[in-house]
Structure 1
Amino acid sequence: MQSRMHPKYYLSQEIFDREQAKIFRKVWLFAGLASLVSENNSYLTRKIAGVPVVIQNFKGELKAFENICLHRSAPLQQGFCGRRALVCPYHAWSYDSSGAVRQIPDCDALYRFNDGERQSLKLREFALQQVGSLLFINLSSDPMPLETQFSDKFIKLLEDSSKQYDTEVMFTTWHASFNWKLVYENLRDLNHVRYIHPKSLGQALKFQKHASDIFIDEAAGPLTDLSPAGLRTEMRRFSQAGAEDAEYAQARHYAWMDMVEPWRGTDGYYNWLAYPNLHIASGTGGYSFSIENHVPVSPGKTDVEIYYFTAKKKQPYATSHQVLLSHMHYSKKVVGEDIAILEAVQSALHPDAPMPSQGAYETQNRLVERWYTTLMETGHEI
């Protein structure tokens, strides 16, 4: 079976811009952890589909605004996260929880805005939704319900598991040189583990190898419902959660595991794939978690944001930082192996490169390709 993914989908700036408009500025995207904005005046800054965003805590209420002052376009908040009031550092314009200008120093003497002009000064607000400990944002002026993008079962698993996240978090960003779609194609292809991760993930876990006949015929045909509702329903299929069919080759119990309350607490490799760019995993059966957020930067650039944390501590313990650091190093090793092969794939692509040939086990990727190419090559919208 031949892939639908022409090399242009990984190389073209015009198609990248189309993706940003038709996917990333329409769907719900992971925006961060609620534990990082749990106090009054705490904030997170993000760039979502090229738009700078600030998530700010106003006395317990979380709001998301465009992170651009209405005076001279300076960022209102800087750095990944912090704690300060929503005040522009350039000329000290301050904003309230509705996004309206609260105070402009020397307004009458220097700016001379009339009442109408001042009342019109309001930051662009974005829809924000909390699922357990996870924050999702939608840039659309008419956002679809979260339940349209993700199934009730998927949302419930996200909510249930993320409530068990500890608040001590380690974070890093990897600036990678590949198209964002390659990483999700890779995550849906567990056959790569034994070849790319033979001395890391492949030693700890043995994924069962099989090709399913389910959806093979369907994936070979065209989409039949091209309405926005039909395209949204199809997209919902791409977000999945559950325990992977895998065996632990080196199941071990570490001392730190006795210090936390695991989610479910059974041997298993739990995997959450939230389309289009979020991956959450627990390779320890719910004792610890990693989050990968894949942020498209350009056709050949993707920021891979990695969060690592354990399940909630029963009580503070002295070595918790070292536990996170050691696990982050391991996570970076595995992710680094993926990044190396994906950067190699990206570097080999050119407009006349051969179309990939796919096996029967790659049905999920074929379903995503069918939806994606239909959306990119037609005037239809989700």
Structure 2
Amino acid sequence: MTAGLPPDCYFDESLHAREMEDIFRKQWIFVGLKRQVSGHQDYLARTIGGVPIVIQNFHGELRALHNVCSHRHSRIRTADSGCGPLQCPYHGWTYDARGVPVGIPGNREHFGFSEEQKVERALRRFELEPCGEFLFVRLSPDGNSLSEHLGSYAELLSHLSEHFGQTAPIDEQSIPWETNWKIGVESVLEAYHVATVHHDSFQPLLAATLHHERQGDHTSTISLLRDEVCQWWDKAARRLKLHRSPRFENYDHFSIFPNLAIGLTRGSLMSLQTYEPVTATRSVLRYQMLLANVLPDMPVDGAVARSVADSIVDSNRTILSEDRVASELAQQGLRHACRRATLGINEGRIRVFHEALIRHSPDLGNRA
């Protein structure tokens, strides 16, 4: 047994601010898939460590820029995703791939900016790097490369990119949680709660959960699926002509520090989840679910595909709702806790997560 983090690490705003500075503004953070910004002017808007950013496609070039206008500081992108020129909705300043305001209404009459002065007002640019189909952003100009950050998981993401991402997700949502982001992450790092929280939803799918493995700050585990569940997925893969990954035969779960969770079901379904901090006691679960790519030149019955997708989506939404309720109850209790949590052997992935947190943000480990 080991002790968890001090309770105030889950609600103290000063510690939350330190995490944003030490972790989210210095680590590589997953922001989406290349498919989501594959066309000219496609964009994603995210907030990393309290900093609003936009990932935009400029004629095939992807850029990560500060999502705040250089004029009078309006947020530029207000939707999570979309397509259109990078133009401020307040006064119409328009930006190019360099982040330079190349289109300023009334510039000659009202500002008289030269080209050089426009460049001086360019939006801040951040590090953006893909690993296969997976896109990561780092706010700090200095730090480890993405390959160093991912370690052996870089090969995992490359492999997954070969089997997923060519088709639209069957479900995609952003859900507010009244919890610290770490509670959200911890909810997917152990299967101990499954028998109680997911007694009628997830538990019937599983035969057993094996011990976790550690790769630096990242972890993984395998849960064996029941025979009848494997048979259901094999039949679904055949009917939907899925190019499933033969590497993953059960339910494989991977956690990439700090807040990305990847769930793989029978090599045919991939769930991507991030727990994004908002305040010390609020976060957003952002997720998308993707079926494996369809085999080339193989027609699929649309009605069958919709039926299978609806079944998967309903089941997953139920499980996530159950996790949210349990996590919010834990958040409510933390303010009244008189000691640190006790972590069992079966919660070893949480211990690894805590060690990584303290290594990157030592203030979390210096509490009473």
Q: Normalising to structure 1: TM-score of the pair?
A: 0.85
Aligned partner of 2:283 among 302, 322, 330: 302
2:156 matches 1:178: no
Match of 1:125 in 2: 125
Q: Which letter maps to 1:112?
A: G
> 2-side partners of 1:143 and 1:355: how far apart?
32
> 2-side partners of 1:361 and 1:265: how far apart?
25
Match of 1:257 in 2: 237
Match of 1:147 in 2: 147
Match of 1:219 in 2: none
Q: Provide, for residues 331-381 of structure 1, a one-character-per-residue CA deviation record: whole Å limited to 9, x for no partner.
A: 11111122211111111112652322232333333343244345544599x
Matches within 5 A, 1:208-219: 208=209
2:349 matches 1:349: no
> 2-side partners of 1:86 and 1:184: how far apart?
33
175-184 or 113-122: which moved more?
113-122
Residue 256 of structure 1: how far off its partner (Å): 4.3
Match of 2:262 in 1: 280
- In structure 1, list runs of 5 or more residues that go unmatched: 215-234
2:218 matches 1:239: yes
Q: Which letter maps to 1:27?
A: Q
- Identity of matched residues, %: 26
> 2-side partners of 1:89 and 1:65: how far apart?
16
> 2-side partners of 1:116 and 1:247: how far apart?
61
> 1-side partners of 2:350 and 2:337: how far apart?
22
Residue 119 of structure 1: how far off its partner (Å): 2.8
10-19 or 307-316: which moved more?
307-316
Residue 4 of structure 1: how far off its partner (Å): 4.1
2:270 matches 1:289: yes
Q: Which letter maps to 1:342?
A: S
Match of 2:13 in 1: 13
Match of 1:229 in 2: none
Q: Which letter maps to 1:208?
A: T
Contact 2:208-2:225 at 8 Å conserved across structures? yes
Structure number with higher strand proportion: 2
Q: Which letter maps to 2:198?
A: H
| Partner-residue secondary structure (3-state), 2:174 | strand
Contact 1:175-1:301 at 8 Å conserved across structures? yes
Match of 2:302 in 1: 318
Matches within 5 A, 1:1-382: 1-151=1-151, 153-165=152-164, 166-169=166-169, 170-208=171-209, 237-241=216-220, 244-251=222-229, 252-253=231-232, 256-258=236-238, 259=240, 260-264=242-246, 267-283=249-265, 285-314=266-295, 315=299, 317-319=301-303, 320-350=305-335, 352-373=337-358, 375-378=360-363
> 2-side partners of 1:208 and 1:308: how far apart?
22
| Partner-residue secondary structure (3-state), 2:155 | helix
| Partner-residue secondary structure (3-state), 1:333 | helix
Contact 2:357-2:364 at 8 Å conserved across structures? no
Contact 1:191-1:209 at 8 Å conserved across structures? no
| Partner-residue secondary structure (3-state), 2:154 | helix
Q: Normalising to structure 2: TM-score of the pair?
A: 0.88
Distance 1:89 1:355, change over 3 A: closer
Residue 89 of structure 1: how far off its partner (Å): 2.6
| Partner-residue secondary structure (3-state), 2:327 | helix
> 2-side partners of 1:145 and 1:265: how far apart?
27
> 1-side partners of 2:172 and 2:81: how far apart?
11
Residue 316 of structure 1: how far off its partner (Å): 5.5
> 1-side partners of 2:357 and 2:269: how far apart?
33
- In structure 2, list runs of 5 or more residues that go unmatched: none
> 1-side partners of 2:2 and 2:156: how far apart?
34
Residue 105 of structure 1: how far off its partner (Å): 2.5
Q: Provide, for residues 1-43 of structure 1, a one-character-per-residue CA deviation record: whole Å limited to 9, x for no partner.
A: 4414111101101100110000011000110121111111111
